[in-house]
Structure 1
């Protein structure tokens, strides 16, 4: 985890910085595209964040990043869409994987910033919340963060451990929880 101890005036300045850094990488308006369904494609996004086409990993990261910009979720199904095509793909867990975390201090408190395997920058806020699901059989936690409209990222185990190191205890609904604060909000990592 990297820490930026410089002070910024507010959270909106951080959002502005992120927007500028991603300026040329604006996402296409996939939510406005509603082409006819063209069938399923033999493409799978694995739980580890790797993309596979016809059972072979896609080795070119630029290609993966390009595909990720035209990814859309409808209900429980995932699609790659263009203005004229809509192809179904398989996602084993989450379409993105958070691989890095930065802690930035502001005049209004700390902000946690995540980066995923497709170079999306995600500010942990009410618009991009964090939640943890537990496997019913093993009890193992799976932490997620919202990346953009109904597309989320699994938080890599190493990054989750970094969050646990930052965690504090709070009582929610009469039960103690371990969690982190970002942009003035508390996000539970689980009951203790």
Structure 2
């Protein structure tokens, strides 16, 4: 059944209203399902976020949103699509999601930063959704924890927006606050 919920829009609402919309969104409890592994789904999420099935791009965004709700990352680092009765592997070239927009409210430790993902979901960075900079073969990769071990890679413009905030606030090390947690913006930094 295709995903019938429209993506949550980031702009034009306060972060408090966004949090309410996030809390009202009911996602399948994929962390509680543990069916037998059934094989490979024939699906792949490319580095740019395009979802493929058997080599062809999936053109319907509602289908991609639906599949994204049953996606999780296993402890061994593999990604799977899971239902109560089956578990199918899916290849993920970089991260499951990309953060494409952001909205910031407040300053310093009172700041909250919301990110819109290419799946249509919203995530507010904080203790449950930390920002990290991971070293990869393609250079430093700014990432946001989403759910069930899944991450969203921040687009380069979003990373630059975060860097501008960090420079304006003059924190040492350079970083940003969101939802009461400080996130350093370099690979050697740590959340406080």
Under TM normalisation by the shorter chain, which class is it? Answer: 0.7 to 0.9
SS of the counterpart of 1:20? helix
Distance 1:4 1:57, change over 3 A: closer
Counterpart for residue 127 of structure 1: 128
Taking a change above 3 Å as real, the CA distance of residues 5 and 78 of structure 1, as seen in their structure-2 partners, is: closer
* Aligned alpha-carbon RMSD (Å): 2.7
In 2 relative to 1, CA 24–56 (structure 1 residues): closer, same or farther, beyond 3 Å?
Answer: farther
Match of 1:84 in 2: 85
Cα drift, residue 126 of structure 1: 1.0
Quick one: distance in 1 between partners of 2:185 and 2:72? 27
| Contact kept? 1:4, 1:104, Cα under 8 Å | no
Task: Please state which structure has a larger fraction of its residues in strand.
Answer: 1
Deviation at 1:5, TM superposition (A): 10
Question: Which structure 2 segments of 5+ residues have no match?
Answer: 1-9
2:156 — aligned with what? 157
Rg comparison, structure with higher value:
1
> What's the CA shift for 1:134?
2.6
When normalised by structure 2's length, the TM-score is 0.81
Given that residues 51 and 58 in structure 1 are in contact (C-alpha distance below 8 angstroms), is that contact kept between their aligned partners in structure 2? yes
The equivalent residue for 2:180 is 184
The alignment partner of 2:68 has SS state of helix
- Note the residue ranges of structure 1 that are not aligned, 5 or more in a row: 7-12, 172-176
Mapping 1:10-49, distance limit 5 Å: 14=16, 17-22=17-22, 25-49=25-49
For each residue in 1:32-85, what CA deviation from the matched residue of structure 2 results, as whole angstroms up to 9, or x when unmatched?
A: 111111111211111111111111111111000000000021121111111111
Q: How many residues align?
A: 176
Runs of 4+ in 1 over 6 A off after TM superposition: 2-6
